[in-house]
Amino acid sequence: MRLSVKSATLLTLLAFVVVAPLFFPSSFYYRVGALIFVNGLAVTGMVILTGWAGQISLGHAGFAGIGAYACALAPEHLGLHPALAVLLGAVISAVLAWLVGRPILRLKGYYLGVASLGFGILVSMVLNNERDLTRGPDGIDVADLGLRGLLKDAGLDLSNGQFWYFFCGFSLMLGAWFALNIFNSPTGRALRALHGSEIAARTVGIDVPRLKLQAFVISAVYASVAGSLLALQNKFITPDVAGFMHSVEMVTMAVLGGVSSVIGAIFGAAVLTLLPQVLTVFAEYEQLVLGLIMVLVMIFLREGVVPSFLRKFRGNEA
Amino acid sequence: MTLLSIEGLGISFGGIAAVKNVSFRVSPGEIVSVIGPNGAGKTTLFNMISGVYQPGSGKVVLNGEDVTAMSPHLLARRGMSRTFQNLQIFQTMSVLENTLAGYHLQESGPVLADLLNLPSSRRRARAAEEGARALLKRVGLERAAEREAGSLSYGSLKRLEIARAMALKPKVLLLDEPAAGCNAVETEEIDHLIAEIAASGVAILLVEHDMKMVMRISNHIVVLDHGEKIAEGDPATVSRDPAVIAAYLGAEHAAG
Amino acid sequence: MSELLQFLLSGVTVGAVYALVALGFTIIYNASDVVNFAQGEFVMLGGMITFFLHAAGAPLPLAAVIAILATAAIGVAMNKLTIEPARGAPVVSLVIITIGVSILIRGAAQLIFDKQIHTYPAFSGDDPIHILGATILPQSLWVILGAVAVFIGLWLFFTRTLLGRAVLATSNNRLAAQLVGINTTFVMTLSFALSAGIGALAGVLVTPITMVSYDVGLALALKGFAAAMLGGMGNPKGALVGGLVLGLLEGLTAGYLSSQYKDAAAFIVILAVLFFMPQGLFGRKSTDRV
Ligand SMILES: Nc1ncnc2c1ncn2[C@@H]1O[C@H](COP(=O)(O)OP(=O)(O)OP(=O)(O)O)[C@@H](O)[C@H]1O
Ligand SMILES: [Mg+2]
């Protein structure tokens, strides 16, 4: 029996989350793993937006910034539990995405690219400038999620690194499960249809701008939650999380691995998260490498590494 | 009883009129054909009726409602459905999924239900799939259901577009050259299919270059030349009309 | 009053730069439907190359000319190596490619040059000129006059020369242009050379005022795009007006509201245009063919 894409993806992720720690040379790798999962989550949102709805955002880090700073600010100023702060960040991101996306998604594809670029820059400008609230470029402390303590009381004693590794791993699996549910549902079919032929999609009754807007909002929530998880595990966050380069990283990760495949995009996230950790000179060349990857993949391997590889491997099926 | 009424429709591109002041009516169960030489404006007319282009002048009235320049997805809700001369297929999706896309209005529900894979979402999808398979059978593509649409032959894709358009359960169906590129046997099959659809009460607007087919199945024919309606009537009348003969001969001389 | 005039003058100066960037967008967009996110990098290259050549001993005018030519060559290379091979790709892929090139150029500039902020002497000294109680730097006049010269030159090129008309014809209808024997591939090359050169010129002129570093391109691209959209995508007159309006808005924002948020003006303009008049001031509607 052949596995569906959904089961295959989820099983691969599960196997990776559980088995990888057996090979970790040091506990530092729990942290690297957790970062991979967080980036994987953000990039899964890009798959929905770019891979399936065919829209491009160059400002998704802005939403990650909102999610992250919600966790830094809401517990302190509103007395919210950090878990609720994650939710608050997601709601704010969704509302902003809706407001920004609504007029723009009626227009041609590059308009969203430009508008989201501007949006991202605006968010990071606010985070840098509003020192009274955000403490500016130096960053701000983030409250503890408190879940590790609860687990400990319940008899499961994990190190901080281990806890965040598994917590982010399972969050990613949940995110991937949602995305793959969409893929096979009527909504997913409509998304792929509009990607195939927008005109035909409209004539079969698909409200194209509305559907694109839904994809944009959902992907913004993914980025926001990823930003929250990043802030919570680091217990500290700087405005860099909302910076333009972070947006570019998200796009590049998705594009490298395969922007229309969840597992592909997560693979891309893994590669580009790992690289700077193993190659210390990478920071110097980051922009060069990201730029090159974007250009080369788009010209020579438009589907991305993983789908191209799978196609070779299994013959002509997706 | 008129279902679709076209009233003085016109459009121009860069100052050149592609369609000028065209009017006619279509009733349920009727097959109205629009014929004319290449470039006469037939596809442009379809594009205006189906909301893909905004008409420069005139009106489209569907079921008593003015639907001029209405967005195609809203027209779909009101029972209009169409196929394309230059195929608009969802290439990377399977044949079944292409047909299912036609069920969008019937099967789509809250995104959240789809996200969580709720039973309601699965139920909607399952119901649509049964309908889609039945439709594929009707156009003779049931065996290709799982294949990637992009891999089908031109003639099969033409039929797939009809299946997708039928999935909307339309009141008005616009077919732009459904038999183009099909062999004699396939043309005959499409011919029967169209007659069958019309017999079930659907109003059909047809553009087709195969004159034998047009004369055989049309109730009414509208002839366009250089964007203008030059004749109209039942097949026998139109085929004897001197203006029509001149337009076609003129076109052939020019092309020849 | 003189305060207002002061803000307006500085607004016009940056506005002239945005107009040039917007013009660069427009030229490439008309020739190829590509929205070139790397447009801002051309401005950066103009400033950076001039600085380093000048620092290495080249006289300023020579350094400037070489910088403009070198940037134009980079523009042509970008077209040949990344845009031509991807012809017919969906919009999203083209956006990713041009943003990729933009980051690539940034990364390369950071490695080849450095991460410092640079400037070189103004062309005609730094003594401010007084006008009605406000002042303007001679270099600002260079920027404004440079922009005026470029727009007039291009206007003559497009209306008076055979080659210019060929470019216009291509932007109106590529297929028809091909049919009448215009080499549209060459027109694309020319467009990239022109808009990269114009971008570099803007960089050369404005660097003594605003200074330059490897990472200034992105913000400029965003503003140039905002200006182009405000004027109406694809319309050179729109680029000019859009650039000036955006520059003035920014000058007034910086003067009366907050200099920290003057960059937000561009983004607000983008959103406002998209909300209220997506066609821009002089844009025209197009009908996609089915
Ligand atoms: N979007 C558009 N922009 C500019 N011109 C157009 C557009 N759509 C159609 N035209 C022009 O309108 C005229 C009519 O074209 P149309 O496609 O409607 O003809 P047709 O009758 O369908 O021809 P055929 O039998 O070849 O399909 C042609 O001259 C065509 O070039
Ligand atoms: Mg036609």
Whole-complex ipTM: 0.88
CA of B36 to the centre of ligand 2 (A): 10
Instruction: Return the residue matching tokens 């000036």.
Output: C244
- Which residues are paired to B231 by β-bridges? B223
Predicted local distance difference test score (pLDDT) of residue B255:
45
Predicted local distance difference test score (pLDDT) of residue C287:
60
Element (H, E) at B224: strand B220-225
Per-residue model confidence as pLDDT tens digits over B63-95? 999 999 899 999 999 999 999 999 999 988 999
Between A110 and C141, residue with greater pLDDT: C141
Q: For A287, which residue in chain C has the nearest alpha carbon?
A: C107
Per-residue model confidence as pLDDT tens digits over A14-37? 989 888 888 888 888 899 999 999
Answer whether residue C44 shows pLDDT above 50: yes
Q: Which ligand is nearest to the CA of B83?
A: 2
- In whole angstroms, what is the distance from residue C215 CA to residue B171 CA? 58
Ligand 1 residue neighbourhood (C-beta within 6 Å): B 13, 18, 36, 38-44, 85; C 287, 289
Sign of CA dihedral A73, A77, A82, A83: negative
Between A88 and C166, residue with greater pLDDT: A88
pLDDT band at residue A1 under the 50/70/90 scheme: very low
Q: By alpha-carbon position, which residue is closest to atom 12 of ligand 1? A: B18
Per-residue model confidence as pLDDT tens digits over C193-245? 999 999 999 999 999 999 999 999 988 998 999 899 888 888 888 999 999 99
Q: Give chain A positions within 8 Å (CB) of B104.
A: 186, 189-190, 193, 204-206
pLDDT band at residue C286 under the 50/70/90 scheme: low
**Size (chain A), residues:** 318
pTM, full prediction: 0.89
Q: C218: helix, coil or strand? A: helix
Q: Which of B92-96, C60-64, C129-133 is the least confident region?
A: C129-133
Q: Which ligand is nearest to the CA of C176?
A: 1
Predicted local distance difference test score (pLDDT) of residue A318:
40
Q: What is the CATH number of domain A5-317?
A: 1.10.3470
Give me the phi and psi of B221, to 5 degrees please.
-130, 135
Element (H, E) at B228: strand B228-233
pLDDT band at residue B173 under the 50/70/90 scheme: very high
Hey, where are the domains in chain B? 4-255
Across the interface, whether the CB atoms of B93 and A205 are under 8 A apart is answered no
pLDDT band at residue A94 under the 50/70/90 scheme: very high
Q: May I ask the CATH class of domain B4-255?
A: alpha beta
Answer whether residue A316 shows pLDDT above 50: no
Per-residue model confidence as pLDDT tens digits over C237-250? 899 999 999 999 99
Predicted local distance difference test score (pLDDT) of residue B256:
38
Answer whether residue C268 shows pLDDT above 50: yes
- In whole angstroms, what is the distance from residue B204 CA to residue B81 CA? 10
Per-residue model confidence as pLDDT tens digits over C112-126? 999 999 999 989 888
Cβ-count burial A43-72 (b if 16+ within 10 Å, e if not): bbbbbbbbbbbbbbbbbbbbbbbbbbbbbb
Q: Which ligand is nearest to the CA of B54?
A: 1
Q: Which of B13, B50, B222 to mutate to test the pocket of ligand 1 (most atoms within 8 A of CB)?
A: B13
Predicted local distance difference test score (pLDDT) of residue A317:
44
Q: For C223, which residue in chain A has the nearest alpha carbon?
A: A118
Reading phi first (left if > 0) and then psi (alpha if -120 to 50, else beta), residue B11 is in beta
- In whole angstroms, what is the distance from residue B51 CA to residue B73 CA? 9
Q: For A202, which residue in chain B has the nearest alpha carbon?
A: B73
Which of B90, B92, B109 has the CB atom closest to A200's CB atom? B90
Q: For C290, which residue in chain B has the nearest alpha carbon?
A: B86
Between A281 and B191, residue with greater pLDDT: B191
CA of B88 to the centre of ligand 2 (A): 14
CA of C279 to the centre of ligand 2 (A): 29
C14 CB contacts (<8 Å, ≥6 apart)?
A: C206, C210, C247, C250, C251
Predicted local distance difference test score (pLDDT) of residue B124:
85
Mean per-residue pLDDT, B173-193 = 89
Which residue, among A222, A226, A221, A239, has the nearest Cα to A167 in the 3D structure? Answer: A226
Q: Give chain B positions within 8 Å (CB) of C287.
A: 13, 53-54
Q: Which of B42, B53, B176 to mutate to test the pocket of ligand 1 (most atoms within 8 A of CB)?
A: B42
- Which residues are paired to B175 by β-bridges? B206
Q: Does C99 touch chain A (CB under 8 A)?
A: yes
Predicted local distance difference test score (pLDDT) of residue A149:
78
Across the interface, whether the CB atoms of B115 and A200 are under 8 A apart is answered no
Mean per-residue pLDDT, A302-311 = 82
Shortest distance, CA A211 to any CA of chain B (angstroms):
9
Predicted local distance difference test score (pLDDT) of residue B61:
96
Instruction: Name the average pLDDT for chain A.
Output: 89
Which of A114, A121, A287 has the CB atom closest to C107's CB atom? A287
Answer whether residue C259 shows pLDDT above 80: no
Answer whether residue A42 shows pLDDT above 90: yes
Hey, where are the domains in chain A? 5-317
Mean per-residue pLDDT, C73-85 = 95
Token pair for A197:
């032929």
Token pair for C50:
């001039």
Between A172 and A307, residue with greater pLDDT: A172
Token pair for A317:
């099926």
Per-residue model confidence as pLDDT tens digits over A210-224? 999 999 999 999 999
Predicted local distance difference test score (pLDDT) of residue B82:
95
- In whole angstroms, what is the distance from residue A213 CA to residue C198 CA? 37
Token pair for A232:
């919570």
Determine contact, residues C24/C224, Cβ cutoff 8 Å: yes
Residues 9-28 of B with CB under 8 A from C: 13
